[in-house]
Every structure is written in structure tokens, then in C-alpha cells.
Structure 1
């Protein structure tokens, strides 16, 4: 088994301001290095805290006090901007989310660096920074006045470019060096087949793997199956690992052909595939008992509920890491179809 050491590293900060979300802070900042969370702040705790032991080793108390003060300032600006957006769209209630993703990436093989800074509202792209042209790109007409204001602020643009192409990569290199043993690890998943009822699709569920660069699919006679297959989203686990699932519609599969189907999991850097053959005897289900006589449905129900809960939490951060931007959120209130142009507060770079 040959392990692959990632050469493209990322440092990303996610800022989320929200309204009317039950049991969720109004403002949250989380930072990630290579998909490993390193920092957390929310308006309930009002304290920025490290999420990895190695972060404590390379920072001091003054660093975290500065992080907290900066996050509290960001909180006020983000909540003000959220209210501005709601008023502009004539929205009076319901769930609304205003987000920013900011950070950089560094290729430790070529030395190339790049940065990104983008904003979204209710799951839609709003405005993003183009570092090459040093211009802000609008995703809709409501952001045009904000674009004009930010484009004309040359001092802010210079500061942002310095942060994203120099300052941020310097911190990223520092973090990668400090957390190398954790960030470079490779963890294989446990894989199970799940089924709610005899006619339900069979879910192949993998959990506990790291890094997130993985694919999973169904295969028949060594050929990938496309028809009747539904891929779930990749979700984070509480311990920093990941989980994913893929469903297979078995309604058109003859019983004698089940053994021709395999669920295949591939993790970047690991040469050997992990496979599970479609077999009734290994499926955890809601309609049959395991060999131990315990109703497996309770286990299946718990696993599926866990998936839903994790999906609700991770799905709240509405940016797809593998796509161009945000995805639409489910919101519920009365809003105008023709919003006015919006002038948002200024953009700030951050420490670390």
C-alpha cells in the first residue's frame, strides 16, 4: 500500500452570520488547514479557541486574544451586513445566511500560491475577488454598488492582495509544518451496507476516512454502474475524518446477480481499493435481525439519523468545496423579487 503525500495545501476561513436558525449561533468563524479545523469562534462563547493541540504549541495567549477581538469586530460587521441584505431584499423573517470564505493555497512542490475571497447570501454567490485583475466580480446586479465601492478602495485592495499571496501563505506553511503528522495522515474507513426495507435502495456507507480526497461507486462485473446509482454528499465527522455514501437501486437486479455487484471505495494515495460485495447476509436493515438476534434496524436507524444530523450541521455551511461557489439554501419568508443595489461594509484581512 503506497501512501500519497498531499502537495496542495489550503488555509480557509469560513464566516457565517445567520438569522432565525434554531439552536445555532448567529455568528461563527471556523478556520481549516487541509480540511482540519484549527480555530473556532461563535457569538455564544465570544472566545476564539484552538482546535488542534499543535496550534497551541505555535501560538501564545496574546495571539488568541487578538483573534477574539478581531472576531468580535467581524461579528458586528457581518450582522450589520446581514440586516442590510435582508432589508434590500425586503425580507422580514425566516432563515437567512450571509457568508464569506477567505484564504489561500500553496503547492509545496512548485511553490505556487493563490488566494480567494468570496461572499454569498442565502446560498447564492454574491461577490468575489479576482486577484489577477484586482477587481471584484459580481454574481448579481444587487452587488454592483458594493463592487464599485470596493474596486475604488485601492488601499484595501493592496492590503488584501498582500494578505492572500504573501501573509496567508506564510501562516499556511507554518501551520503545515507544525501539524504535519496530523495533516499528512491516511485513515481508511469502515464500510457497511444499509437498507431500510426490502425494496429500498442499498446504501454503501463509508466513515472514518482521511483525507477527504476519496471516491465511492458501485461496480458490476468490474464495470462502474451509472444507472440506478445515487451519490450522497461527503460529510465531516466530529473527529476530523469524513463519511460518504452511495445508493444502489436493487429493484431491477435479479437475486442471482447480486454477487456480481461490488461497492468500491478509493482513497487518494492508497493503491488498493476497498470493496464490499452486495450480499443480503451482510446488510444491516430495518426488516431482518443480525446473527446475534438484535434488531439491526435500530442500528440502521441510528446511523441514518446521524447522517441526517451531520448533513444538517455541515450543510449549513453552504459552500461546496469542490465547486465554484455557494449552493442555494432553503429559506422561508416573503421577499421582493426586485431588490435594490446593496452597499456592504468594508473587507478586512486577518491574522493567521
Structure 2
């Protein structure tokens, strides 16, 4: 992957029973690697590499940062007052972050706020000013722009500190995950009438080729390729299913071939030799866990589908780690 991204999504909510009032999720290249919510009350790693990438005091410092962010996000009450809204369900969100093209060295950054799924304020890096999207945002714009030091600090974070952390995280993830072994490939079938599934898991990086052959020729009919999904440790999994009859299995030779950059040679599984007639419970559990790991982030993006983005209070120094 040439272009890498570091993004944080902070969401304050009101009127949603059982849902945390404040949630913050950090994502590297679109995958959650850390999170905080007011119910748990602390920052926690969501990927194995994130545990190894930082010093022992990292998560405690970030918990303190998230506590401050949570207090600052009481602005949701202010926003509701400005918009003359009370009760019901409301959200106040901040998306911020940066992108880095590893090949060209080009970088970009963004920082924006949204209210109830609509844009509220967007930070202009060139003019160091806030662009309001609704009339009610002008009061907040004036308040924030009156603090010049805060505005300059926000720009410095987005254009320098964020990029430094992005490169650090990318290298840490790469160094940790590249130490892992090649993907584990298994042929599975629930019963003779079910499709045969070729399941590959535990691979990194994300790119993977998985294909079926019949008598040595590539097969495309009756093949269903699933999405590449994250595992809980930063690696990925994918499955491809082939529907065929018992007669076809007897008359032809079927193979599943997996190609990945971590492999010195392709993994080839032969249907009649390597098939395991077991339920796909293990696969299902892995998929469910992967979905749960990303659920908070997904909820945030479905609430606000604005442009992708860390505020000034997350700085790379002895008192701040994100």
C-alpha cells in the first residue's frame, strides 16, 4: 500500500440508551488499532502490533488525553442549544487525521466537526481558520479563532506530528506482522451438499490472490469470493467458495491456489486430499469477532459520512502519545 492514513473519530451522543456517551477510535489504514469510551474509561489497544509499538506509559497517557477530550466534547450540549434542540437523539463528531504517500512523500491532513450527520465546522490549513457549514457554527468559529496559539498548535499537529506518528505506526505494524508465518489455508465443507470453502487466514499485508482450478485450468463459474476481513491481531482472512456436485468431484480434479507476498511458493490445496468435512463454525466466529472489533468505528461512519481526520490536544511529546 503506497498511501497510508492515520485517522481518529470522536463521537459524543445523547439520547441513545445503552450506548456510550463518548467514543474515540483510532484507525491506521482504515483498521481500528485503539479505542476509548466513557463506560470502559481507558484507552485500549485493538491490534497486537499496537501493544508492542509504544512505551509502557503510552496507554495511561492516552487515557488522560481521552478524559480531556471527553470533557471538551460536552460541546454537544452547546451545539444543541445553538440549534434550539433538546431531547431526542443527537451526535457531535470530530474526524481528523493525515495521509502519507510512501512512494512520493506527499502528505495531506484534515480536521472537521459534524452535528447530527451534517457538516458543522471544517479547519482550513492554509488560512488557519474555521469554515462554518451552518449559521449556528459562527459563534464557535469566532471563539476558536480568537485563540491563535491553539490554532497554530492544531495546524502543527496535523501537518507534522500526525505524519510522524503515522510513519511510526506503519513501521511498527509492518515490522510486527511481517514476523508472522505464512497464511494458514484450509479446505472446509459442512456436508456433501454444501459448497466447498477455501479459507486463508493470518496473512499480512492485505493483498491476497485465491483461485480455483479444475483439471489444472482456472475455474470461474460457481465460485463466490468473500471480502478480505481483519482478524483481531492485525492480520487478515479471506474465503472463496465453490459449488459443485459429488459427481463433479469424482470426475475432475479440483484445487485451490493461494498466492501471497509472504509465500516463497503458492499454497495449493487438493480437494480430494485436503478437504475437512467440518462445520464452518471457526470461520464464522472469526468473522463475527472481526466485525465486532470494527463496530464502533462503523457506527461512527454511518452517523456521519463526511470527509475523512487529531485535534490539537493530541501531540507527540512526553505528555501526549497519539
User: Equivalent residue of 2:298, what SS?
Assistant: coil
Instruction: Write out aligned runs for 1:1-352 (5 A).
Output: 8-15=3-10, 27-33=22-28, 39-49=34-44, 51-56=50-55, 61=57, 64-76=59-71, 81=76, 101-117=95-111, 144=134, 160-176=154-170, 181-182=175-176, 184-185=178-179, 187-219=181-213, 221-223=216-218, 225=220, 227-250=221-244, 254-256=248-250, 259-260=253-254, 262-268=255-261, 272-277=265-270, 279-280=271-272, 282-285=274-277, 296-297=278-279, 300-318=280-298, 326=301, 348-349=311-312, 350-351=314-315, 352=322
Change over 3 Å in CA distance of 1:90–1:231 after alignment to 2: farther
Change over 3 Å in CA distance of 1:77–1:167 after alignment to 2: same
2:10–2:23 Cα contact (<8 Å) kept: yes
Q: Which deviates more, 30-39 or 195-204?
A: 30-39
Listed as ranges, the gaps of 5+ residues in structure 2 are 305-309, 316-321
Paired residues, number:
297
1:125–1:326 Cα contact (<8 Å) kept: no
Aligned Cα root-mean-square deviation (Å): 4.8
Residues of 2 paired with 1:328 and 1:75: CA distance? 19
Change over 3 Å in CA distance of 1:282–1:66 after alignment to 2: closer
User: Equivalent residue of 1:317, what SS?
Assistant: helix
Shift of 1:71: 1.0
Superposed CA deviations along residues 145-173 of structure 1, whole A, max 9, x for unmatched, are: 57777877656876554332222112233
Shift of 1:187: 4.0
Change over 3 Å in CA distance of 1:167–1:183 after alignment to 2: farther
Q: Which deviates more, 161-170 or 125-134?
A: 125-134
User: Equivalent residue of 2:54, what SS?
Assistant: helix
Listed as ranges, the gaps of 5+ residues in structure 1 are 1-5, 286-295, 320-324, 330-346
TM norm structure 1? 0.61
Residues of 1 paired with 2:114 and 2:224: CA distance? 28
Match of 1:3 in 2: none
Change over 3 Å in CA distance of 1:38–1:327 after alignment to 2: closer
Shift of 1:31: 3.1
Change over 3 Å in CA distance of 1:56–1:147 after alignment to 2: same
Shift of 1:178: 6.0
Residues of 2 paired with 1:100 and 1:253: CA distance? 57
